[in-house]
Structure 1
Amino acid sequence: MNKPSLPAPDMAAEVPPDNPLTTKEGWRHFIGHEPVPPRLLTAGGRAALSPQERMREDERRREYHADLPMVNTPVIRKVTATSRLLIQLNRNQISARRGVILSGGSGTGKTTALTQLGRAHELAVRKRHPRDANRLPVVYVTVPPAATPKMLAMEFARFFGLTFPSRADITDVVDAVCATAAHVRVDLVLVDEIHNLTLTTRSGAEASDQLKYFAERLPATFAYAGMEVESKGLFAGTRGRQIAGRFVVIPATPFTHATTEDQESWRALVGTLESTLRLNHHTPGTLAGLSEYLFHRTGGMIGSLSQLIRGGAVLAVEDGTERITEELLDIVPVDYAAEQSNKRTAPAKPARKRRRAACCTSAGCPIRSRPPGTRFPPPTSAAWPPSTASTSTTSGHRSPSARSPAACAASSSPNASQHSPDAPSTPSPARCPSSAAPSPIGRCSGTSHRPAATAATPGTPAAK
């Protein structure tokens, strides 16, 4: 008997919906999302959890630290204050409305400031009109690479969820977008990646004209964000001069560490991020004490700082240490720009000094006569004088500098000159102690180089 086959799983239900920030569904999710700090359990409460419950608790804290609450930076405050004023000024304007352009390098928080502006404005509008569920006061779009007028218009249509056939005329798309925007009462339009508009090309110039046409048709304030738009030709030519005459440019630059005020501002930012951590054994103020290290490691860029602290917090939960240290932050990867900035600005760490055995500086020292890295052989006998093996160097030949100026009588006697220079020499019982092997601890004592605890053998001349 054949068993009934199970129904195939609904793959469409398992795939998450495609709701990026550039759609009204994704934007509404962004507006309503607020990271909730998880509660920290005591040691007893954590010990009472089962392994599965402890795993779920750690997973919640990892997810929280991967998406820490946003901090209010100076750029965000300036963009929000300027844009709110422009929205008030543009409310009764028929044309030539004023706008704002956020310009800066990568990792300086341009997109963050732009989206936080839209979030703050929409929350304020919802507070004033709590019963108007159809109101959509903010539109967020990005300029696609090599944008054409129709591509730009379709970005606006995609945000509203409008669909058109592939052969649709651009005029129909623009009219539908403007009608929908008026119906939901849009009064703030956010356009990101504005540097993708190149006014030196025909398609880029036409796309810029299309964006200007939207600004004339929609009763809204436009806010742009892009990478170093001043050097991208956005203000060049007739079109550029018109944009420059209507928009306020707010630079987004990395933090600096030159003055005391700059250092305190950076330390306050680090302290604000540290206050959002939820780690069991982290000492408050640790990251604030590492503010200079964090500045050099991130180049003063808010995006790199956020990545570094969030990554350190996630690793601290995973390895069970529950604290962020400089050693842990060293293994958190950051972007290439931050790494290069760290190489240019970070102070060199002091080299650790090696402990060296005390030794004399005379040329006859057997320690100095040995090649670097040579280990001293153990003494063959505690008796004095040492054997032949202990008076030779690592190459098997006795060092000529091992003889003291107070040479023994055997080396200065006439019989000593009768030996052939090529014949192997035999140590004399009366040899001075300067050719003796060093003590096991490798310590020399004056010019005699004899161990302090070794007594002379009867018949051996006393050391001078």
Structure 2
Amino acid sequence: MSGDTRKKDDPTRAGVMISGWGNYGKTASVCSAGAVFEDQWLKLHDSLHPGALPGTRDLHAPVVYVSTPVTATPKSLCASILGFFRAPTRRAATLPELVRQVADSLHDHGVKALILDDISRLRMHRADDQDVLDLLRAFMSLDVTLILTGVNIQGVGLLREARWNKKTRQWEMPPLESTRIHGLEITQTEHRFDLIELDRFRYVTPNQIATFVGHLKGIEQHLRLMHAKPGMLTDGTMPEYLMRRTGGVIGLLGRLLEDGAQEAMESEKELIDESLLDEIVLRRDAPEQAPDEPVIPADSQTAVTRRRAKRPRNTTFDDHGPTAHAGA
């Protein structure tokens, strides 16, 4: 964001795509970075928008956050962006009118970064989603930095299937197998965006351990418990315990400590330790299984086996022929 704001007369601003799995802190990280950038930008310009138009000076918004519509279309995306500014729209407005209104709103409010969350809702086999991607590329020429976040972006076709290069430590896009329809557009997308992958915390190397412990220290400073003490989350075996319970997933770590703090207050213990956290149940505490193996409760395993067993056919009303009748 900082680099793009220094560019002048550049027809296209480079964008960023941030990918990661659920509870990995994508939205929180992007919003935190956007808040820091906005504070720096406002301080640099004394909280005033350079060249602001009458009536928009108090609506200076350097960073805009919008969630991708569930049923994304170019019109619905424009409506979501305009909704951030509470801008009135006509129900019968055409797409060119909405796009022009979005461009005017971004310019009049001094927007420098547009954060679009849940971008992985787009699927390239749908025509509307392809049109939305084309519209996003058009927004890159509006002096705005696009920041797109989503789950497994490299696997949903938005940038084509990507592979992680261990040497360069970057995602690389393989060559197109064909140049059928929309092949060129996807190639343009991958060249205009940098792909960043957010991973969970690791606890193997000294640097990884120090990073995780440093994060725990930051959390520790914000816990307001009566009996809390320095090192409550970082001393002894507590870091290893938290890593084992959450697997380094920042979202699960936050939930575990939030529930632990609530339990500490309700029990009047006012302190978080391993014995207290043992009472908190997380979904991850289930037995480890292969990633693609479905979770089947133990009590339902017998029912599944029974359904698979072939039930014998009822022969009560069968006609066994004249011989059977003669014997009877």
TM-score normalised by length of structure 2: 0.74
Given that residues 73 and 131 in structure 2 are in contact (C-alpha distance below 8 angstroms), is that contact kept between their aligned partners in structure 1?
yes
1:382 aligns to what?
Answer: none
Correspondent of 1:225 among 149, 155, 162: 149
CA distance in 1, matches of 2:224, 2:47: 36
Following TM superposition, by how much is the alpha carbon of 1:190 offset from its aligned partner in structure 2, in angstroms? 0.7
Map Cα deviations across residues 395-448 of structure 1 (whole Å, 9 max, x no partner): xxxxxxxxxxxxxxxxxxxxxxxxxxxxxxxxxxxxxxxxxxxxxxxxxxxxxx
Indicate which of 30, 45, 67 corresponds to 1:129: 45
Contact 1:86 1:99 in 2 (8 A): no
* Matching of residues 107-186 of structure 1 within 5 Å: 107-132=23-48, 133-186=58-111
Letter aligned with residue 230 of structure 1: Q
Could you report, residue by residue, the CA deviation over 1:221-252 in whole angstroms, capped at 9, with x for unpaired residues?
11111111000101133222111101111110
Q: Deviations over 1:247-295 (max 9, x none)?
A: 1111100111122321222122112211221211123213213111101
Task: Check the 8 A contact 1:86/1:98 in 2, yes or no.
Answer: yes
Secondary structure at 1:286's aligned position in 2? coil
- What is the alpha-carbon distance in structure 2 between the residues aligned to residue 204 and residue 174 of structure 1? 16
SS at match of 2:197: strand
Aligned partner of 1:105 in structure 2 is 21
Query: Matched residue of 2:275: which SS?
Result: helix
Report 1 or 2 for greater relative contact order, CA contacts < 8 Å, sequence distance ≥ 6: 2
Residue 247 of structure 2 is matched in structure 1 by: 299
Say whether the 8 Å CA contact 1:316–1:323 is kept in structure 2.
yes
Match of 1:38 in 2: none
Residue 3 (structure 2) aligned to one of 85, 88, 91: 85
| Letter of the structure 2 residue corresponding to residue 322 of structure 1 | E
The Cα offsets for residues 89-132 of structure 1, whole Å up to 9 and x where unpaired, read as xx314323211111111111100111112111111122122252
1:275 equivalenced with 2:199 (yes/no): no
Q: Give the distance between the partners of 1:321 and 1:299, measured in 2 at CA.
A: 26
Identical aligned pairs, as a percentage?
A: 30
* 2:12 and 2:143 in contact (8 A); partners too: no
Q: Rg: which structure is higher?
A: 1
Paired AA for residue 235 in structure 1: L
Q: Where does the alignment leave 5 or more consecutive residues of structure 1 unmatched? A: 1-82, 346-464
Aligned to 1:376: none
Asked whether the equivalents of residues 112 and 144 of structure 2 are also in contact (C-alpha less than 8 Å), the reply is yes
User: What runs of 5+ residues in structure 2 fail to find an aligned partner?
Assistant: 49-57, 161-182, 291-328
Shift >4 Å, 4+ stretches: none
SS in 1 for 2:140: helix
Counterparts of 1:87 and 1:158 in 2: how far apart (Å)? 24
**TM-score normalised according to structure 1 size:** 0.53
User: Corresponding residue for 2:299?
Assistant: none
Letter of the 1:234 counterpart: L
The equivalent residue for 1:195 is 120
On the 8 A contact 2:78/2:98 being kept in 1, the answer is yes
1:319 aligns with 2:278: no
Q: What is the 5 A alignment of 1:370-449?
A: none
Tell me if 1:266 matches 2:206.
no
- Coordinate RMSD, CA, aligned: 1.9
Q: Distance in 1 between matches of 2:201 and 2:185?
A: 33
C-alpha separation in 1, matches of 2:36 and 2:262:
28
